[in-house]
Structure 1
Amino acid sequence: MIVPLDIDQVRQAADAHPGPGEGPFTLYGAYASFYTGKTRSYLRKKGIAFVERLPSHHHFRQEVSPAARSKRIPILETPEGFVIQDTTVMFEYLERRFPDPPALPPGPRQRLAAYLVDLFASENLKIAWHFRWDYPEPNRHFVVREFGRSFKPRGTDELLDHYGNVVARQMDGHRAAIGITPDMFPAMEQIYFDLLDALEAHFTDHPYLFGGLPSVGDFGLMGPLFAHLGRDPWPLHLMQQRAPRVFRWVEHMNTPEIQSPEFWDTPMAYLPDDEVPETVLRMLRTFCVDYTPIYSATAELFSQWSAAHPHFPERQPISDTDQDQPSLGRICVPLRGHEMNMGAPAHSLWLLQRTLDWFATLSPADRAACQGMVEDCGAGTLLATRLARPLTRVGNRLAVA
C-alpha cells in the first residue's frame, strides 16, 4: 500500500525503518527537472540505493501521483511504500534514516550558512528559468525534446516535439508569475556571472562549500546549476567558458564518489573550527542583498492574509483552489537596480521557517558564534522575520499549522 508522508510524519516513519530497507528507493524525476537534479545528487553522495523512473512510468501515473495528490517531480517512493514529495521533506526523512555521511554540518556557523545557501538557491535563482526559456535560438530544440522524452521516452522526434512544446507553452505562461520581464534580463545575466565568479574562486581551493563533504547547501545549488545552467546549451557554454571549475564541480556532484581526484588529499570531513570560507560569505552577501526583499514583502502579505482570516482552521490548506504552492498576491521588489513585479511565493516562507525554527533553538553560545557572520552577510533582517502563523504541509498542500 502506498502511503504519502507529510513533513510532520517523516521523523516517526524514518525512525521506524532505519537503514536501507528491503530493496531500492525509487526516484521519479527527469534530467531537465530543477529539483530532481538536487535530489539525485543527494542520493548518490549519500550512497542510498535507488532507481530512477520518468513521470510517464505507469506506476507513477496510476499509483504514486494520485497518492501524493501531485504531479510535481521529483517524488520519492521508499522500499516500504511511503511516498514523499518536496525535496525539503525528502531530505528531512533521508537524513534521519541515513545519517552518514552527514549533509548537515555539525557547527552552527556552517549549518546556518548551508541552510541559507539551500534556501536562496532552491527558491530564488530565477536565472535558471531565464537562461532556459529566454534564449530560444540556442536552447529550445534541446529543451523541448528533453521534456518530450519525459512523456514519451522512446517516441519519434515528432512526438517529442509535440509533448515538449506543451511544457514550453506552460513555461511561457509562467513568466509573469516569477517576474522575468525583458527589463530584468540584464540583472539575470549579471546575477549568473557573479555566482559563477564566486563559485569559481571557491572551487579553486575547496571541493565543496564547507570542505570535504557535500552539504545541503551544495545540493541546493545543484538544482539550478545542473538541470538548467549545466545542461541547457547556452548557459552551459557560458559556464564552461567562464567557470570551468564550477562545471567540473557539477560533473562530480553527479557521481557517487565523495573525494574527487583534484582534491585527493582533502579529508572527507567538514572544515575544522566551524570555518565558513570567505568565498562562501561573499556569495551569501550577494544572496542576502538580492533576495531578502522577496521574503520581507511576502511575509508582509502573509500577515495581511492572516489578519483577514483570524479563525482559519489549523492544518487546512490556505489555497481555496487546491493549489499546492499558492501565491499570496503580487509584490514589487528591488533587484539589481530594477523593480521586479512577481507573485508572492508562500512556499518560500515555509522553507524560510525551517531555518528560523532551527536558529531559534540555538544555545546562547552558538547564537553568539553565528552573530558575526550574520552581520557580515547582512542576514539579520531575514533571520528577524516573524511569520504571522506557522506554516506546514498537509496532503502536499501548504497549510497553517
Structure 2
Amino acid sequence: MRQTWRWFGPKDLCSINDMRQAGVEGVVSALHHIPTGAVWSPAEIARRQDEIGRMKDGSPSHLAWEVVESLPVSEDIKKQKGDWRAHLETWKTSMRNLREAGIEVICYNFMPVLDWTRTDLAWRLPTGGTCMRFDLIDFAAFDIHILARPGAAEDFTPEVTEEANRRFADMSEDRKLALARNVVFGLPGAAENFSLEDVRRHLAEYASVSADRLRGHLVDFLAEVTPLAQDLGVRLCCHPDDPPFPLLGLPRVMSLEADYRAVMQAVDIPANGITLCSGSLGARPDNDLPGMMDRLGDRVHFLHLRNVLRESADVKGSFHEAEHLGGGTDMVALIAAVLREERRRKAAGRADVSIPMRPDHGQDILDDLGRQAQPGYPSIGRLKGLAELRGIMTALEHPVEGLR
C-alpha cells in the first residue's frame, strides 16, 4: 500500500514539511482554484507539482503529486444539460494534461449538488477532541424548517420529523445559522458564498433526475472518458456518496456494492475503477468493507481509510468520525483484504501492485484544536491515524505473523 496524504495547496495549514516528517510517500491534491468545467492547463499542473516538490527552505521534498482528488465533474455533466458536452471535452483535456505530467490516478465523484454532508464540523468528544458528525435530527430540522424544502418531512420517519420539530423550536438563531453553514460547507468550493436560495435553485434543477437517470448519466460519462483513460494509462476511481443514502430529495447512485458492480459492468474497462472509502461506505450497516475489497479489489485504484461510529442500526442514521481503529469497520480485516489483493496483482504481473491509500479525515486533538484547519483534515489527528494504519500493515506483513 502506497502511503499518501491529501494536501489542499499552499493555503493548507499542513505544510509540505509536515507531510515529509509524517513519512508519507506521495501526495494527493487538486487544483481547487480552477472553476469546475475549465481546463487544468499544463502550466497550472506543473506549478502544483513544483509546490509539492519543495520544502519551505527550497530544498527537495522528495514527494510527488501522485493522485488527483478530485478532478470535478460538473453539474451540467451530471444533469446532461447546458454546457455538458463542452465540459466533457475539457475534462478529457485535463486528463490528458495530467497524464503527460506523469499522474496516473484520478479520483472523482458523481454526487449531485453536495460533495459531502455534515451537521457538525467540530463536535466535541468525551476526550476533549473534536470531529465531524452527521446528526439525522439536526439535518431533518435544517431540511424541513431552515431550507424549507417542499415535501421534506415526507423523506423522514414520523418519529424523526417530530423530534426535528422539537429541536428546531429550541434552536437559537446562532445555532440555526451555524447548522446552515455546516451543511452548505459540502458544496464544492462554495462554503463561504452559497446561500440557501442557491441550494434551492440547484435542487430544483434535479427535480426531474431520478436515481436511474443519474446512473445512466454516470455510465454515459464513463463511456466517453474511460476508453481514453485506458489508452493513456490513467486509472479513474469514483468516490462513494457521503453519506451513502439519499438527502434533500437528491438521488444517490454510488452507495452500495451493487451500485459499484453495476457501473463496473456497464463500462467494463480496467481503467473504470473504485475509490474504496471505508468511512463513506461504512456509514451504512449493510456495507461489508472487507468483503467488498475481496470481491471488487481488482478495480480498486485508490483507498480512503477512515472509520465512523454509527449511532443507530438504521441505514439512514446519525454517525460521527471515529478514531481510525475505533469505528464500525474492522480495519484490520480490511487492510488484510487489501494486502491479499496486492499479492494477487503481483502474481498476475500487474504494474499497479501497490494501491495508493491515505488516512482519510481525523479527529482534532492536541494542537489541532486551535489550528482551524480544513474540516476533517487536522495534521496531528491524521498523523495518529496513519501511524495506526501503518502499524497494522507492518504487523500483517511481518514474516513472524505472515499474511493470512
TM-score w.r.t. length of structure 1? 0.25
**Which of the two has greater helix per residue?**
1
TM-score w.r.t. length of structure 2? 0.25
